[in-house]
Structure 1
Amino acid sequence: MALDVELSETREFLAQHEPFDALPAGVLDRLPAGLTVEYFRRGTRLIERGRDNHHLYVLRSGAADVHDTQGSLVERGGEGACFGSITLTQGNPSTFDVTAIEDCLALLLPAEDFHRLCTDHPAFAAFFDAQRASRMSGAVASLQLSTTGSAILKTHVRELVGREPIGVDGAATVREAAQVMSRKGVSALLVMEGERLAGILTDRDLRTRVLAAGVDPGIRVSEVMTADPVTGDVDALAFEVLLEMVGRHIHHLPIIDAHDRPVGLVTTTDLLRLEQSNPVYLAGDIAKQPDVDGVARVSSRLPQVVLSLVEQDASADDIGRVVTAVGDAVERRLLALAEADLGPAPVPYCWVALGSRARLEQALAADQDTAILIDDAVQPEHAGWFEALAGRVTADLVACGYPRCTGDVMATNPRWRQPLAQWRREFSTWLTEPVPDAILGASIFFDMRAVHGDASLHARLQRHVLATAPGARLFLAHLAKQATANEPPLGFFRGFVLEKAGSHRHTLDIKRGGIGAVVELARVHALSTGSPAVNTRSRIEAAREAGILGDDKAADLRDAFEFISYVRLRHQAAQVRRGDLPDNHVSPDDLSSFDKRHLREAFSIVRHAQSTLAHRFPMHYIS
């Protein structure tokens, strides 16, 4: 009986955390019996760099840090966090250390069970793809490995401690402590017992634990302080301290030396002054905004973030993930604000991103591409709620710097706000009865990613598409024709083909014939193999693994995509620096001879890849 209770509790725990919460009930029922439980004391390693790992670790309690080969902090996770997926998907030995920073209880899922779940449940696999490659951990890794580093990554905490610690004895009264805080002009005090740090008292503690609670200010400060507070190492990087504070939702952090003696106190405000354009702050600040104006104000810092990342030589791939993560944060906050006003959704739904943001490749100058998948239980009387949600969020996105899609590919279009069954019919029509014009407009919908709501709706649609696409040869031929028609801007004698008229005359449209061409090539390859990959680099890798692209050709195409994307981002960063609106039109006059030479080579690689694709599909008889 005790064992049954333990398995039931484990099942309920998993059901409350991603990505297990998206698994079918029957799968969740069986899963706990295949798990083992291990206890790790603080300071011990769950996974060790250089050693093989054959399990996914799910923290039942405690917290752990992930450090890369250079010892840099890459990720921090608490209850429900998963570690080890990289070795399970990319191979051993591990290139990361995962170390318990608190006593941890971990659930261990064997590799074979992990792979089976990934195969049977695309949403489960997609979670780990995103965990490995996206959100803030990818951006953080990029920043920490950059050659120059940002201020917050180069600064040690010692440099932030600008004054001697201000404290009181634990025997002092709350009134006396408040008087010290007022006299010294500080928002927190260290509470000492001799030379030992016993606790911390903040202005928030005074408000919530004393004034609001009606407590007599004559009591000892030790009765209302936060005892044994979390502390920071004076020799740590400011960035590590930031992660500690953000992860624990604390505003004040006592700093101690090697002998555990307090040397000062830092606040999140100190760190914010250090670098406002850090993407970690940006995404976190967006999530805290109480209204649309606040979201718009914070998201307006994104161009400066991109400029900073370009100046640090971060890769185009990593910058695209940062821009995407910020876009996701904006959209999720706007959706949450809208739901707070409109009330709960009448039935489950999933708000999805399309196009470059779905692929984790968004740059500046991007417009909106969104849709809504609605549970089939929806009734006619529910339509108004979803129409109101789409209209509000779309308008709010405009206010936040994301213009409307000129092709009306937005959730405000009733065609792209449908029950799941209608979405299945829509995709089935594209796949089995392809019409050239329809395919041209529909291709963006094959780059789709769940952003908010019930992700299982997207997972079910994705399963349907991936099961049908490999056999849809006529559809793939139309898609391939579209991909090969989008030629790189390179002339017969390897000269650049420039825009001949309009406001962008004498410039390269680096998105349409460069980035866009690779995106379309990779999309055809991925769909033809039934790969769930959406990111272009991941799709190229899937084509390599399927034997469609040789190792060298896949590497060349991947490098060409990175180079072209980086040239675009550097161009946009220069526009931000000048105060211009970012676009995708690059003047050859702004390119060095090195850039021109390698851009020609990149375009040649793309053109050759298009020729290879043309031979895979019978395009000669389609119009």
Structure 2
Amino acid sequence: MEDERHEIVGFLRQHAPFRELDEATLERIASAIDVRYCKAGTQIVAFGQDALFWHIVRSGVVEVFRRDGTLYNRLTEGGYFGEFGLLHRKKVRFPARAKEDTLLYLLPEPVFTELFEHHEVFADHVEIEDRTRLHKVVSRQEADNPWLSAQVESLLQREPVLLADTVTAQAAAHRMTEAGVSSLLLVADGSEAAHLTGIMTDRDLRTRLVAQGLPLDTPVAQIATREVVTIEAARPVFEAMTLMLRHNVHHLPVLRQGRPVGVLALSDIIRHESHHSLFVVSRIGRAQDVEELAALEPEVRASFVRMVGEGAGSRIVAGAMSAIGRAFKQRLLDLAEQRLGPPPVPYAFLALGSMARQEQGLLTDQDNAMILDDAFDPDRHGAYFEQLARDVSDGLARCGYPYCSGGIMATTPKWRQPLRVWRQYFQQWIEQPSPEGLLHGSIFFDLDAVHGRTAWAESIRQYVARTARQHPRFLASMARNAVQRTPPLGFFKEFVLEPDGRHTAAVNLKRRGTAPLTDLIRVHALAAGSQAINSHERLDDVIRAGILPPGRGEDLRNALAFLSDVRLRNQAEDVRAGREPGNSIEPERLSEFERKSLRDAFTVLSHAQDYLKYRYGA
């Protein structure tokens, strides 16, 4: 045993990350190491099993794989693997197999963790510092996430059933029956090369033909859905799920270079996902009154916790939660219109802030507004829309979305105005910036219509994209506002903690992290003329516009993704523990690895705020 320990020490001394450690530490490591022999082809660790050891390759060849089976790394003598699982939830994230006969040194998790947290030189080799480390963390999480790696075309079960849009409804029903499908795609002449003109489903036949008493020879184009939501075959699965949630559709045509190659059905998504967020949206759409909607709040929380627990990632979770919030608004508006009667003039109901950006967590209040047709007459129509807004706002409060403390709701008359007034609002906010206007701008420049004349919201976004970039004073004022909330880092990069509700010493990840990141990304997006709402999509436009120095855009993306992941994971832990979810976290409860990554993200934010002040003269 003594000779074996000396041999292990000699080996460790030759390889990073051990060669800089002192002799006593090497002796302690060697005493703790277990030796394992693996024949070629042997599975060493499997995805999801408990992570008990850090593995060092003494001799042989080991292949490490991603969750989807693709090769991630090939290791030889001196290589190591398993640190990601040890540092994240103590579960194996990357399966490994011996490619050749292999001898491994197995370092137990407690010894690895002690080395990582108390020996900086060891930690520096295991994971790269600062912005590179943060990028590594986020990219590893994305690489291991099947929602981000799996493409839509991988879920397609069969070729699409195409039909000319000139045939009758009866002929279309016969074709669906023969093919055994619940939907078919309409094209101009029935050929694969033709342009997609619509989609017809079983539901369309029931609700638009049979229920309306129309004859069987009704042209299929008359009952089909003509404004079709589609997705490209190479897009990730999570985008398909987000689209289906957002538009409440059960069939999503899949295109490749503009040609239909399949239809993604709700059942295909459900087979792929176990998060059940689509089920929640479906139940919201079937609810018959506010009581039924309010009863779904536990299911919303359960869906959130399940998604986080299964590693869905902040973009997927936040997109699903935003879609659920939109579904509540839409159903409450439907129920209100059933009770109050049809609206006397057209309107659009707006989602604002995080819901519009598709970045909603579990803890959120209701920010909304209403655009009314310019034919609106307060004396004749005012009472209807006031009651409509009240029904929706009260219903949202009962469903777990508290009233906005700042009154940014359609129940406030100022935020329930004709389209011409909204255009005046935005023109004044941009051309004559004031403290109050800038405060509103940080909310209302993130807007999206969830019901009614949705094109009105799009027209406002187009106006803002054209106009804001032409007003340097407005951009400078927005930039000044965006740097008011600074990251919680002291002079030596230690965390600056503050009292926050139930926490006595904590960091508010939203107020001091994700919110200021979102604010500064918004300023750059306005300068770039971007019409995007989501922060990640805005960053795409900002990077393409060349507004940021090379690499800074990806730094911001990684910082936002990491802070959002930690925030949502913390909220899920609160729910599991029976606590009300919050935005604060105590850094001392994190591992040293997570604390370093958190510090990296806040450092990126600090540097980004400095650049914002420089670029816009704030």
Same-fold call, TM cutoff 0.5: yes
Cα deviation, residue 611, structure 1: 1.3
Corresponding residue of 2:234: 95
CA 1:501 to 1:511, structure 2 compared with 1: closer, same or farther past 3 Å?
closer
Asked if the contact 2:354–2:360 (Cα under 8 Å) also holds between the matched residues in 1, the reply is yes
Amino acid at match of 2:191: Y
1:45-66 residue CA offsets vs partner (Å, 9 max, x unmatched): x8xxxxxxxx974445579xxx
Corresponding residue of 1:243: 267
CA 1:324 to 1:241, structure 2 compared with 1: closer, same or farther past 3 Å?
closer
Corresponding residue of 2:333: 335
Amino acid at match of 2:318: G
Amino acid at match of 1:314: A
Structure 2 unaligned residues grouped into runs of 5+: 1-164, 170-185, 203-223, 250-263
Cα deviation, residue 457, structure 1: 1.7
Corresponding residue of 1:384: 383
CA 1:581 to 1:388, structure 2 compared with 1: closer, same or farther past 3 Å?
same
Aligned residues between the structures: 399
2:63 matched to 1:39?
Answer: no
SS state at 1:547 partner: coil
Correspondences of 1:457-472 after superposition (within 5 Å): 457-472=456-471
CA 1:37 to 1:493, structure 2 compared with 1: closer, same or farther past 3 Å?
farther
Corresponding residue of 1:69: none
CA 1:133 to 1:546, structure 2 compared with 1: closer, same or farther past 3 Å?
farther
Amino acid at match of 1:95: A
Find the aligned partners of 1:526 and 1:563 in 2 and give their Cα distance.
21
Cα deviation, residue 132, structure 1: 8.4
Find the aligned partners of 1:467 and 1:288 in 2 and give their Cα distance.
40
Identity score, percent: 37
Corresponding residue of 2:596: 597
Asked if the contact 2:475–2:523 (Cα under 8 Å) also holds between the matched residues in 1, the reply is yes
SS state at 2:191 partner: strand
Find the aligned partners of 2:479 and 2:356 in 1 and give their Cα distance.
21
Corresponding residue of 1:317: 315
Amino acid at match of 1:570: R
Corresponding residue of 1:408: 407
Asked if the contact 2:188–2:196 (Cα under 8 Å) also holds between the matched residues in 1, the reply is no
Corresponding residue of 2:513: 514
Correspondences of 1:489-504 after superposition (within 5 Å): 489-500=488-499, 503-504=502-503
Asked if the contact 1:376–1:419 (Cα under 8 Å) also holds between the matched residues in 2, the reply is yes
Asked if the contact 2:350–2:447 (Cα under 8 Å) also holds between the matched residues in 1, the reply is yes
Corresponding residue of 2:574: 575
1:478-501 residue CA offsets vs partner (Å, 9 max, x unmatched): 110111222111111111111147
Asked if the contact 2:528–2:547 (Cα under 8 Å) also holds between the matched residues in 1, the reply is no
Cα deviation, residue 135, structure 1: 4.4
Find the aligned partners of 2:500 and 2:512 in 1 and give their Cα distance.
17
Correspondences of 1:469-618 after superposition (within 5 Å): 469-500=468-499, 503-618=502-617
1:271-310 residue CA offsets vs partner (Å, 9 max, x unmatched): 9xx97x6111111011001110101112331111111111
Cα deviation, residue 553, structure 1: 1.4
SS state at 1:506 partner: strand
CA 1:422 to 1:293, structure 2 compared with 1: closer, same or farther past 3 Å?
same
Cα deviation, residue 547, structure 1: 0.5
1:336-371 residue CA offsets vs partner (Å, 9 max, x unmatched): 000100101111100000000010000011000000
Find the aligned partners of 1:555 and 1:423 in 2 and give their Cα distance.
34
Correspondences of 1:325-364 after superposition (within 5 Å): 325-364=323-362
Find the aligned partners of 1:550 and 1:37 in 2 and give their Cα distance.
50
CA 1:600 to 1:414, structure 2 compared with 1: closer, same or farther past 3 Å?
same
Amino acid at match of 1:323: M
CA 1:506 to 1:376, structure 2 compared with 1: closer, same or farther past 3 Å?
same
CA 1:420 to 1:130, structure 2 compared with 1: closer, same or farther past 3 Å?
farther
Corresponding residue of 1:177: none
Find the aligned partners of 1:446 and 1:552 in 2 and give their Cα distance.
26
Correspondences of 1:58-137 after superposition (within 5 Å): 58-61=197-200, 80=226, 82=228, 86=232, 95=234, 134-136=243-245
1:7-59 residue CA offsets vs partner (Å, 9 max, x unmatched): xx89xx9xxxxxxxxxxxxxxxxxx9xx964424xxxxx8xxxxxxxx97444
SS state at 1:39 partner: coil
Q: Structure 2 residue aligned with 1:284, among 279, 282, 285?
A: 282
Corresponding residue of 1:308: 306
1:68-112 residue CA offsets vs partner (Å, 9 max, x unmatched): xxxxxxxxxx954757654xxxxxxx52699xxxxxxxxxxxxxx
CA 1:37 to 1:601, structure 2 compared with 1: closer, same or farther past 3 Å?
farther
Corresponding residue of 2:452: 453
Cα deviation, residue 462, structure 1: 2.0
Find the aligned partners of 2:318 and 2:236 in 1 and give their Cα distance.
26
Structure 1 unaligned residues grouped into runs of 5+: 1-8, 14-31, 41-45, 47-54, 64-77, 87-93, 99-128, 141-239, 247-270
Find the aligned partners of 2:415 and 2:246 in 1 and give their Cα distance.
32
Find the aligned partners of 1:496 and 1:58 in 2 and give their Cα distance.
56
Cα deviation, residue 539, structure 1: 0.8
SS state at 2:558 partner: helix
Cα deviation, residue 464, structure 1: 2.1
Amino acid at match of 2:487: P
Corresponding residue of 1:296: 294
Asked if the contact 2:349–2:371 (Cα under 8 Å) also holds between the matched residues in 1, the reply is yes
SS state at 2:580 partner: coil
CA 1:60 to 1:565, structure 2 compared with 1: closer, same or farther past 3 Å?
closer
1:430-476 residue CA offsets vs partner (Å, 9 max, x unmatched): 10111124312431000001111111221222222222111121111
Asked if the contact 1:300–1:401 (Cα under 8 Å) also holds between the matched residues in 2, the reply is no
Amino acid at match of 2:365: D
Find the aligned partners of 2:410 and 2:360 in 1 and give their Cα distance.
19
Q: Structure 2 residue aligned with 1:375, among 367, 373, 377?
A: 373
CA 1:500 to 1:300, structure 2 compared with 1: closer, same or farther past 3 Å?
closer
CA 1:131 to 1:386, structure 2 compared with 1: closer, same or farther past 3 Å?
farther
Cα deviation, residue 548, structure 1: 0.8
1:539-590 residue CA offsets vs partner (Å, 9 max, x unmatched): 1111001001245211111011000000000100000101111110111132
CA 1:513 to 1:58, structure 2 compared with 1: closer, same or farther past 3 Å?
farther
Find the aligned partners of 1:336 and 1:608 in 2 and give their Cα distance.
46
1:187-222 residue CA offsets vs partner (Å, 9 max, x unmatched): xxxxxxxxxxxxxxxxxxxxxxxxxxxxxxxxxxxx
Greater shift after overlay, 503-512 or 320-329?
503-512
SS state at 2:296 partner: helix
Find the aligned partners of 1:241 and 1:345 in 2 and give their Cα distance.
33
Cα deviation, residue 331, structure 1: 0.9
Find the aligned partners of 2:405 and 2:518 in 1 and give their Cα distance.
20
SS state at 1:485 partner: coil
Cα deviation, residue 245, structure 1: 12
CA 1:505 to 1:448, structure 2 compared with 1: closer, same or farther past 3 Å?
same
Find the aligned partners of 2:520 and 2:595 in 1 and give their Cα distance.
23
CA 1:136 to 1:525, structure 2 compared with 1: closer, same or farther past 3 Å?
same
